[in-house]
Amino acid sequence: MQYNLIVVEPNKASFTLNSRKKETTDGAWAADARWGNKEKPKACYTKKLKKSFQSSKQKETKPSNP
């Protein structure tokens, strides 16, 4: 079994994908190193996004009296 957990970091405009696996159904979850160098694989990787998720601050407008 395997699952991936995606962690989005809006302030850094990036995300990290963490990969976990279970060798047997009654076994413990462990890091599933699949990414990066073949000699030193990693269980996660991080990518920068082209755009930030942060919303730009909008100008406050005062309601006009009718």
pLDDT tens track for 26-56: 999 998 988 888 888 889 999 998 876 655 5
Please check whether residue 44 lies inside any domain of the structure. Answer: yes
Lowest-pLDDT choice from 4-8, 9-13, 59-63: 59-63
Instruction: Compute the residue count for the chain.
Output: 66
Please check whether residue 62 lies inside any domain of the structure: no
In a domain, 11, yes or no: yes
Higher per-residue confidence, 23 vs 53: 23
Is the pTM here over 0.85, yes or no? no
Cβ-proximal residues to 10 (8 Å cutoff; 6+ apart), any chain: 52, 53, 54
Total domains, the chain = 1
- Torsion on CA atoms 57, 58, 62, 66, rounded to nearest 10: -160
In a domain, 63, yes or no: no
3-state secondary structure of 10: helix
Q: Tell whether 16 is covered by a domain.
A: yes
Please indicate, yes or no, if residue 27 is contained in any of the structural domains: yes
